[in-house]
Structure 1
Amino acid sequence: MPGQSTPVPLSVPDVEELVALVASYNPKSNGDRLRAAYAYGMSMHEGQFRQSGEPYFCHPVAVARILAEQRLDDDTIITALLHDTIEDTKASYSEISSRFGEEVAMLVDGVTKLTNLQLSSLETKQAENFRKLFMAMTKDVRVILVKMSDRLHNMRTIDSMRKEKQQQKARETMDIYAPLAGRMGMQWMREELEDLSFRVLNPEARKSIMVRFIKLQRETGDVIERIMKDMRKVLRKAKIQADVYGRAKKPYSIWRKMEEKQQGFSRLSDIYGFRIIARNEMDCYRALGAIHQRWRAVPGRFKDYISQPKTNGYRSIHTTVSGRDGKRVEVQIRTSEMHDVAERGVAAHWSYRDGMRYENKFAVAPTEWIAALQDTFASEENHEEFLDAVKLEMYSDQVFCFTPKGEVIKLPKGATPIDFGYAIHTRIGSRCVSARVDGVRVPLWTRLKNGQSVEIITAEGQEPQATWVDIVKTGRARAAIRRSLREAESERFAKLGRELARAAFEHVGRKATDKVLDTAAKTLGLDSRLEVLAQLGRAEITAQEVINAVYPELQKVQGDLVPYRRALIGLEPGQSFERAKCCEPLPGERIVGITQRGKGVIVHAINCDELAAYEDQPQRWVDLHWHSGTHEAVYSVTLELTIGNDAGVLGRICTLIGEKKANISDLEFVDRKPDFYRLLVRVELRDVEQLHSLMVMLEAESDVAAISRHRATLLPGGADLGGPSRNVRAKAGVQTP
């Protein structure tokens, strides 16, 4: 049985052992490059130790060995040796790139970023981390292979960690890394990760299974060897050349079956598994026939993944038969190439044979299945829903059903006709009203079985129902249903919101036009006017808030006004100041002063381009800020407006400015066209908040095509080029408080 601990090495394993292991499957491997990476990694981790007391570099070497046992390329092995250097040592990306190449540096950096993901945090954070994890896999799956091997070695040596840390790592491994390994086709790694986690999370249950299994062996003898002998005899009689292997299932696998079937250990029959590795695909089916002739097949326990492979490339025939004494045994039949993919999953893509990359025809290109997995979850906007979908897909088994045209649709076990419809196309799933399975009309909640023919009946106008969320099994269907429900709900509330907005704006003598609502959305930080209306309909915001976003009520001035001469804090006694003509700073904006001979202090906005001219004169800079309180409306600012050339437009614009208590001190047309005017308007304001409110209100007007704050351009040395009449000011964005 698995789970036996190995002694902790007191020194780092010799590099030649690793070089020899890699050379055994890749004779053209660059041993000197591996030795250089080994030496560099050891020097970087020198003086670092694991909690077990062994040198830290033992860990990267062990990770590299795990990957070498999967026959991976030199770059991946080197990445394993260096995978913690950027994170835990003084090594840098650029140094690794210069020494071992850009590809290795990118892989090491990718592993480092994955290591920094806190995958055992809160659910919403965990879901976002899943997204990042899938993005990392899309770039290069070898990043995940290194990380998975890193986790496997950490789980093998978890006993040296604190108990609470062991629990955290084991739960994270059980929830994320083990199912991910299964999804990647690395079944051996999934089983070991699950069992190592099981030993931490439920040691009593694991010990109980181990004790019962040992007792069963004593009572029945070596059942595995006897069944293997019988199978070899049957295959020889049928003149089929094949290798037969048998094993007992892992403790966690046995425990899971006990939990699923609600059976005790004594009643659990299929605790043994056997594999028949045939020479070719035809012999696989011949072997199946021979096994079924000799032993009785268990109904409902047959799956043909050779004719219908899994998305990760897995191919095998699965059957369960009643063996000696009525005991059930599971038999998997496959070729050696299929077995390579079954054991190593996507890692088989990097297989080497005689020093050359070997193209296993059954190995799926890693980017293909990762992209397919990402597409499944791409439409999930809600983080918790995304995480549910991920875990659902991770743990799913598959059934294969047929369309009326004979096309095969792969679905997880327990899927319904609704899942089937969405698997074909989102539109078909959304318009599904009923289904026929094998020609018989069935309810939409019917669970589909292998080999059934399914016909989806649709109707125009049909929309997904809220109850479907609890019926469907696939993440894709749930995502599409939830998205449709959200859209339908938003449309419903948006209609209500539009009526509320219309009534509220009419009450204040305005109209809730699309442009007004667009402005409100921008001010409120919402995505669109439809979102404004939907939130208004859901009572998440009030109509008054929407009105205030475009036409805020004037604040009453409280207390005395701050006079212009006392507007600034930071001046020396008796020191005078002027606002810079280039940026015309307003109270509420961040400012800085520049001393000017004969003019006192010139006050600039902190982001004024003209300040660059004084970077080498720090002695002239003065730290200033505006006095708190309500300032006098004496601060001039120039606005550039483009307005429609219609009767009464300019008058309405001036009236609106007056309503904002802003005085117009100058106005000049700089461009006249038959259909529009462009003009510069100089207004006197209190502060930047009043400017922002004025510009938002003007922007919402249908007759205003464009509005921006104007700034003057100065000649070298700070001389103003002139006032608005010279038309030399440059556009700039609105300064927000």
Structure 2
Amino acid sequence: MTPAQPAPTAPLPVPPLHDDAQVPDYVRELEQAADYLPDDQRAQLRRAWAVGAAAHVGQTRKSGEPYITHPVAVAKVLADQGLDVETLIAAILHDTIEDTPLTYDGLVSEFGETVAELVDGVTKLDKIQFRDRQEAAAESFRKMLLAMSRDLRVILIKLADRLHNMRTLGAQSMEARHRIARETLEIYAPIAQRLGMNLIKAELQDLGFRALHPWRHAVIEKRLRTQPVVRRESLVQIEAQLAQRLAKEKLAHRLVSRVKSPWSIYTKMRAEHKTFAQVMDVFGFRIVVRTVPDCYHALGVVHAAYKPLDSRFRDFIAIPKANGYQSLHTVLFGPYGSPIEVQIRTEEMDLIAERGIAAHWSYKHGGDGPNSAQTRAHSWIANLVESQRATGSSLEFLENVKVDLFPDEVYLFTPKGDIMSLPRNSTALDFAYAVHTDVGNRAVAARVDGRLVPLRTKLASGQRVEIITAKSSTPKPQWLEFVVSGKARTSIRQQLKQLEHEDAVQLGHRMLDRALEALGISLDRVPAVRMDAYLNEFRYPRLEALLADIALGNRMPQQVAMALAREAPGKPLRTPGGNMLPMSQDKILITGAERGVISFANCCLPIPGDEIMGYHTAGKGIVVHRLDCPNVADYRKSPDRWVPIGWDRQVAGDFSAALRIEVDNRPGSLAQVAAAIAEAESNIDRVEYLERDANIAVMRFAIEVSDRRHLADVMRRVRRLAVVLGVQRM
């Protein structure tokens, strides 16, 4: 949270250490929380507070408290998680580079490079100008992820900073409270969950819910406090029964009952359209044991005590979640007719479940390498960093990350038996991009559990997926309609932009060549000096950029040709014989696959085999019309925008066409027509009734065909139907 008062500009001397009498209570609380650190390291914490207090002198929070109380409170949040001394020092000083005269070099000399790197990673981007607050937040988030990729402790400080800001949100305006709470629920709480930090996630969600919907939070909280006595007694009976069974088996364990948080109750009520009583009609317990074999032993014990619901058992020990979470989950049929949710895990798994990546520093002080939660977090962030390099804007990147933060996941197996986790509703194509960007770009189909399926097939946990690729395959714009993961969406967009650019350059080259040939010159014969001068004048970095602009209609090829041939602007183009240049000569041949550069007019829906012409439109490139299109007469008034085009010999793909079909209005007519179109191997995009009475119905079928011959075959098959009275192309 930025301080309310501006920082002083005079350089600060390094302050002397304070004696015990001068140390305020909030610093003592921090030292008490960090009692796991040796004395010399706790002395460093006090030194950091002294430096921070001097740097922030005169600055206050909106509540009126000295500003230094906030970063010290952030450090205490982290000390409660058992973080190392460097992280705690960086937390105390996390706003100094941004808001005080202290510099990066000053921090390096006083506390070392690691602390300075951490503080710099947390520092916000206040000095860059953004179009709006939303983009500024997105760009700040992008920088935070880049800093996280260097050191995961950056995100721990950021989460602790957000948690303390949420705890002290009351001093903010209503608008600010809602904005910060929404951002917390959409971004920071899911990040905490993705990193396995359930304690921080739960508190962020609860505080965010309270700030965003105070009345709803209060109602649910009151209902939780005043639970019926019957329910409390039932909980005790089940707990006693489970504890007795575990003790008989001589299983050392810790058994605790779990109470749902207001936020989880609220989201479940909304998502599953349940009442409060239905949501609360579930008893939850956690059993913590010593070893992994003990987990499975305890599972057998609870299944003997109460019958399990077969479909609700999940083994997250054998197949951990993406954030490193491990536990056995089972649901039992309880004695009161209510489900009993039971989680079984070891002490280490419990610590990682509660603290996630922070458990690395608290569970294994000076340990040997990161635990699985950290390894998975590093892997996830590395993928995000790769994704952000390819994204066009910070907002697009943030949207992609939100998709990846979606809490529900599916767990899949590669042909080699490796486990991959993807967001819920992921398709085979999402899996292909998760394996590698090149695999996704060249994917053509997939085998799921040995069965051949299309790329849009949704995947379910436990399936074995193999991707089939082809060197000639390239991403299609339609892929964006069904992929769900951020990495797949970013990779497809980047590749499509690249392909569109290449197609635009090629088409622009052909158009400029035609225009230059009309003046008796070719592109190869334009002097390099003249070409460079033209590119510099119009600020094109390379010739390719100019050619792409020509194809997209932003530059007219004739005007560029005249400038390069040193013809006077406005002078009509003439052949060497002196006659006006006919626009129809030397057609540019198209395949229809020129992405983003050529589009087909909806007014006449041209298909291969039709006589066509092109109209040059700024920003859209060439729009193709049939020569018999009624709109062509209007385009004849702008001959400079006409482009002579025709179909190449090699035309592939599906093209849109429309049929007007008149049928007897009786049950089954529509189905017969649709079946005939399908038999002709044509897809139906849309059907609509144009006219309809008691006897006759007139329908418009929007279909896909490969060319005129294919369209004629479709029309022939439809005409043969007894119910059809007439067919014509629209």
TM-score normalised to structure 1 length? 0.67
Alpha-carbon contact 1:120-1:168 (below 8 Å) kept: no
Could you tell me which of 542, 557, 563 is aligned with 1:543? 557
Q: Following TM superposition, by how much is the alpha carbon of 1:520 offset from its aligned partner in structure 2, in angstroms?
A: 5.7
Could you tell me which of 270, 275, 284 is aligned with 2:286? 275
1:288-342 Cα deviation digits (max 9, x unpaired): 2323333343454333322222343322223333334232343322211222222
Alpha-carbon contact 2:559-2:569 (below 8 Å) kept: no
Could you tell me which of 128, 138, 156 is aligned with 2:167? 156
Task: After superposing the two structures, state which structure 1 stretch, 444-453 or 374-383, moved more.
Answer: 374-383
SS in 1 for 2:196: coil
Could you tell me which of 210, 224, 232 is aligned with 1:213? 224
Could you tell me which of 540, 546, 553 is aligned with 1:532? 546
Mark the CA change 1:155 to 1:328 in structure 2 (over 3 Å): closer, same or farther: same
Mark the CA change 1:517 to 1:445 in structure 2 (over 3 Å): closer, same or farther: farther
Tell me the matched-pair count: 544
Mark the CA change 1:128 to 1:18 in structure 2 (over 3 Å): closer, same or farther: closer
Q: Following TM superposition, by how much is the alpha carbon of 1:528 offset from its aligned partner in structure 2, in angstroms?
A: 4.3
Is 1:498 aligned to residue 509 of structure 2? yes
Q: Following TM superposition, by how much is the alpha carbon of 1:222 offset from its aligned partner in structure 2, in angstroms?
A: 5.1
Amino acid aligned to 1:537: A
Could you tell me which of 245, 266, 270 is aligned with 1:234? 245
How far apart, in 2, do the equivalents of 1:249 and 1:134 lie?
31
How far apart, in 1, do the equivalents of 2:75 and 2:178 lie?
26
Give the equivalent residue in structure 2 for 1:474.
485
Amino acid aligned to 1:15: V
Could you tell me which of 4, 19, 29 is aligned with 1:17? 29
1:361-383 Cα deviation digits (max 9, x unpaired): 44524644422332354433354
SS in 2 for 1:395: coil
SS in 1 for 2:329: strand
How far apart, in 2, do the equivalents of 1:176 and 1:421 lie?
26
Give the equivalent residue in structure 1 for 2:209.
198
Mark the CA change 1:111 to 1:408 in structure 2 (over 3 Å): closer, same or farther: closer
Mark the CA change 1:540 to 1:189 in structure 2 (over 3 Å): closer, same or farther: farther
How far apart, in 1, do the equivalents of 2:161 and 2:191 lie?
14
Mark the CA change 1:512 to 1:310 in structure 2 (over 3 Å): closer, same or farther: farther
SS in 2 for 1:268: helix
Give the equivalent residue in structure 1 for 2:722.
none
Q: Following TM superposition, by how much is the alpha carbon of 1:548 offset from its aligned partner in structure 2, in angstroms?
A: 7.7
Q: Following TM superposition, by how much is the alpha carbon of 1:245 offset from its aligned partner in structure 2, in angstroms?
A: 2.0
Is 1:437 aligned to residue 451 of structure 2? no
Q: Following TM superposition, by how much is the alpha carbon of 1:79 offset from its aligned partner in structure 2, in angstroms?
A: 1.7
Amino acid aligned to 2:187: I
Matches within 5 A, 1:101-250: 101-113=112-124, 121=132, 124-221=135-232, 223-250=234-261
Higher gyration radius (CA): 1
Alpha-carbon contact 1:119-1:126 (below 8 Å) kept: no
How far apart, in 2, do the equivalents of 1:12 and 1:315 lie?
41
Give the equivalent residue in structure 1 for 2:628.
none
How far apart, in 1, do the equivalents of 2:54 and 2:333 lie?
58
How far apart, in 1, do the equivalents of 2:566 and 2:307 lie?
82
Q: Following TM superposition, by how much is the alpha carbon of 1:411 offset from its aligned partner in structure 2, in angstroms?
A: 1.9
Is 1:67 aligned to residue 81 of structure 2? no
Q: Following TM superposition, by how much is the alpha carbon of 1:448 offset from its aligned partner in structure 2, in angstroms?
A: 1.5
| % identical equivalent positions | 42
Mark the CA change 1:169 to 1:51 in structure 2 (over 3 Å): closer, same or farther: same
Task: After superposing the two structures, state which structure 1 stretch, 232-241 or 221-230, moved more.
Answer: 221-230
How far apart, in 2, do the equivalents of 1:377 and 1:329 lie?
43
Alpha-carbon contact 1:72-1:352 (below 8 Å) kept: no
Give the equivalent residue in structure 2 for 1:56.
67
How far apart, in 2, do the equivalents of 1:455 and 1:356 lie?
41
Give the equivalent residue in structure 2 for 1:321.
332
Give the equivalent residue in structure 1 for 2:697.
none
How far apart, in 2, do the equivalents of 1:29 and 1:340 lie?
27
How far apart, in 2, do the equivalents of 1:278 and 1:510 lie?
84
Matches within 5 A, 1:673-688: none
1:248-296 Cα deviation digits (max 9, x unpaired): 1211112112222222223325765432222011112222232333334
Q: Following TM superposition, by how much is the alpha carbon of 1:443 offset from its aligned partner in structure 2, in angstroms?
A: 4.7
Give the equivalent residue in structure 2 for 1:293.
304
SS in 2 for 1:320: strand
Give the equivalent residue in structure 2 for 1:364.
374
How far apart, in 1, do the equivalents of 2:288 and 2:174 lie?
42
Mark the CA change 1:98 to 1:464 in structure 2 (over 3 Å): closer, same or farther: closer
Amino acid aligned to 1:483: Q
Mark the CA change 1:104 to 1:263 in structure 2 (over 3 Å): closer, same or farther: same
Q: Following TM superposition, by how much is the alpha carbon of 1:555 offset from its aligned partner in structure 2, in angstroms?
A: 9.5
Could you tell me which of 24, 34, 38 is aligned with 2:45? 34
Q: Following TM superposition, by how much is the alpha carbon of 1:446 offset from its aligned partner in structure 2, in angstroms?
A: 3.1
Mark the CA change 1:511 to 1:166 in structure 2 (over 3 Å): closer, same or farther: same
Amino acid aligned to 1:364: Q
Q: Following TM superposition, by how much is the alpha carbon of 1:116 offset from its aligned partner in structure 2, in angstroms?
A: 6.9
How far apart, in 2, do the equivalents of 1:82 and 1:236 lie?
49
How far apart, in 2, do the equivalents of 1:319 and 1:162 lie?
44
Give the equivalent residue in structure 2 for 1:45.
56
Unpaired runs of 5+ residues, structure 1, are: 1-10, 557-737
Q: Following TM superposition, by how much is the alpha carbon of 1:17 offset from its aligned partner in structure 2, in angstroms?
A: 3.3
SS in 1 for 2:332: strand
Q: Following TM superposition, by how much is the alpha carbon of 1:406 offset from its aligned partner in structure 2, in angstroms?
A: 3.1
Mark the CA change 1:225 to 1:526 in structure 2 (over 3 Å): closer, same or farther: farther
Alpha-carbon contact 2:324-2:373 (below 8 Å) kept: yes
Amino acid aligned to 2:505: A
How far apart, in 2, do the equivalents of 1:212 and 1:517 lie?
77
How far apart, in 2, do the equivalents of 1:97 and 1:425 lie?
39
Mark the CA change 1:328 to 1:443 in structure 2 (over 3 Å): closer, same or farther: farther
Amino acid aligned to 2:321: K
1:139-172 Cα deviation digits (max 9, x unpaired): 2222221121111011001012111121121122
Is 1:374 aligned to residue 385 of structure 2? yes
